[in-house]
């Protein structure tokens, strides 16, 4: 039975869970309407009212006042309505209590289902709201299960499951059940199983947040991360700068004896991290982006957003990187298409171009020769 203890329990839930009692009552009233129609007839227009002060539950049937009754379950004639209350007129609603004797038993069962369901939904909603604030942040999780190449994590301090998909894993890492991982929350998603957090260790945001945690100047926006690109497990390039002339952005990120950058690299399992000082000058920025390789010269074609870069012969492989990785990341970091050549190759191409030009006889020269013959 729904009694005083039931309403007291709702008061206790409101105190403990922060879920308003009215939330449960409104939902329960709607559920009890459906329960009444299921057990006592669906044709009646009914309303269920719960009264917490009196600890009562009552069912009211409604009929519309009409001139001529066509449906006795939902309509009442004006004559009959005025026998109940003389002020009734056509279009008014006449209510009548129709609470069945055994409705308390039905109400108790329905109440249990509704409260349990809504409590879960409310708790999940609260947890979702709390976790929503953690999107674009780092959290700690423990791997609890694996399905194929996807891992599912218990995220510390939340009731929401984290999902680490293959594309968000670092290829060189190997995970085991119960492993503790720091992960970056990319986004939340609603599924049939509830809310899940899509987490990552390969996303550039993971590296960005690691630096924010290690470098106070980044956290306080005194050092700005202009751009960051990454091939997870191998190399990251991060462009940084500061508007404050008294702050050395590179020194801030490296830290005393490399402590700050080394902490990030350690979390990344030894992944190489190139810190690039950003510049508005594309010549300078492109040259820096190819770090750790030194650059001799940069030529750019702004219309095509292309750059030709010349490096020392013995630094060509360093500039290009394994499988083109270094120059590929530099291009992504700067937004320019970069063509890298060694110094000797550039000179060779230049000499070939000069030879071709010398071999070409201009039209004016040809006309001059024929002109002499005519004379």
Predicted confidence band at 342 (pLDDT cuts at 50, 70, 90)? very high
State the residue for tokens 């060509």: 316
pLDDT at 374: 54
pLDDT at 360: 57
pLDDT at 349: 83
pLDDT at 375: 53
Residue 138 has pLDDT above 70, yes or no: yes
Domain 134-200, CATH number (from 3.40.30.10, 3.90.1150.10, 2.40.50.140, 3.40.50.450): 2.40.50.140
**Is 212 within 8 Å of 204 (Cβ atoms)?**
no
At residue 55, φ and ψ (nearest 5 deg) are: 55, 45
Contacts for 264 with CB less than 8 Å, ≥ 6 apart: 207, 210, 211, 214, 273
How do residues 265-302 score in pLDDT, each as one tens digit?
A: 999 999 999 999 999 999 999 999 999 999 999 999 99
Residue 372 has pLDDT above 60, yes or no: no
CATH superfamily membership of 281-375: K homology (KH) domain (3.30.300.20)
Residue 112 has pLDDT above 80, yes or no: no
Residue 368 has pLDDT above 90, yes or no: no
Higher local confidence (pLDDT), 128 or 61: 61
pLDDT at 217: 97
How do residues 145-159 score in pLDDT, each as one tens digit?
A: 999 999 999 998 777
Higher local confidence (pLDDT), 97 or 42: 97
Bridge-partner residues for 75, per DSSP?
64
pLDDT at 42: 63
d(CA 293, CA 117): 61
Residue 337 has pLDDT above 80, yes or no: yes
Residue 373 has pLDDT above 80, yes or no: no
Each domain of the chain, given as residue ranges in start order, spans: 4-131, 134-200, 281-375
How do residues 353-367 score in pLDDT, each as one tens digit?
A: 777 666 655 555 555
**Is 92 within 8 Å of 83 (Cβ atoms)?**
no
Short-list 341, 232, 229, CA closest to 293: 341
pLDDT at 164: 98
pLDDT at 95: 85
pLDDT at 286: 98
pLDDT at 285: 98
Pair of tokens at residue 85: 């209350």
The length of the chain in residues reads 375
Residue 168 is classified by DSSP as: G
Short-list 319, 324, 318, CA closest to 309: 319
Q: What average pLDDT does this structure show over 324-346?
A: 96
Maximal C-alpha separation, the chain: 133
Predicted confidence band at 116 (pLDDT cuts at 50, 70, 90)? confident
- CA angle (129, 167, 200) in 5-degree steps: 35
Residue 354 CA, chain-centre distance (Å), reads 55
Predicted confidence band at 71 (pLDDT cuts at 50, 70, 90)? confident
Average pLDDT, the chain: 88
Domain 4-131, CATH number (from 3.30.479.10, 2.40.37.10, 3.30.70.2860, 3.30.1480.10): 3.30.1480.10
């Amino acid at each position: 039975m729904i009694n005083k203890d039931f309403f007291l329990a709702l008061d206790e839930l409101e105190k403990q869970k922060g879920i308003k009692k009215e939330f449960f009552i409104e939902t329960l009233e709607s559920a009890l309407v459906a329960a009444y129609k299921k057990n006592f007839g669906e044709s009646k227009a009914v309303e269920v009212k719960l009264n917490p002060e009196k600890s009562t539950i009552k069912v009211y049937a409604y009929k519309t006042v009409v001139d001529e009754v066509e449906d006795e379950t939902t309509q009442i004639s004006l004559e009959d309505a005025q026998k109940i209350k003389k002020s009734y007129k056509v279009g008014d609603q006449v209510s009548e209590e129709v609470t069945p004797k055994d409705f308390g038993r039905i109400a108790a069962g329905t109440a249990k289902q509704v409260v349990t369901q809504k409590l879960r939904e409310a708790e999940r909603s609260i947890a979702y709201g709390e976790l929503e604030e953690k999107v674009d942040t780092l959290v700690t999780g423990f791997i609890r299960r694996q399905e194929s190449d996807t891992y599912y994590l218990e995220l510390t301090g939340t009731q929401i499951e984290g999902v680490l998909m293959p594309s968000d894993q670092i290829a060189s890492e190997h995970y085991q059940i119960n492993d503790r991982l720091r992960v970056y929350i990319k986004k939340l998603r609603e599924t049939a199983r509830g809310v899940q957090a899509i987490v990552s260790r390969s996303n550039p945001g993971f590296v960005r947040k690691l630096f924010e945690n290690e470098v106070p100047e980044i956290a306080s926006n005194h050092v700005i991360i202009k751009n960051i690109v990454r091939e997870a497990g191998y190399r990251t390039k991060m462009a940084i700068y500061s508007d404050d002339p008294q702050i050395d952005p590179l020194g801030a990120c490296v830290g005393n004896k490399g402590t700050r950058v080394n902490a990030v690299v350690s979390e990344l399992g030894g992944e190489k991290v190139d810190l690039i000082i950003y510049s508005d000058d594309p010549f300078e920025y492109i040259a820096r982006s190819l770090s750790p390789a030194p650059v001799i010269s940069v030529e750019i074609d702004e219309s095509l957003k292309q750059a030709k870069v010349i490096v020392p012969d013995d630094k060509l492989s360093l500039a290009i990187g394994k499988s083109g990785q270094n120059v590929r990341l530099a291009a992504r970091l700067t937004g320019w298409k970069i063509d890298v050549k060694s110094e000797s190759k550039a000179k060779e191409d230049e000499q070939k171009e000069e030879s071709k030009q010398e071999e070409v006889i201009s039209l004016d020269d040809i006309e001059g020769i024929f002109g002499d013959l005519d004379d």
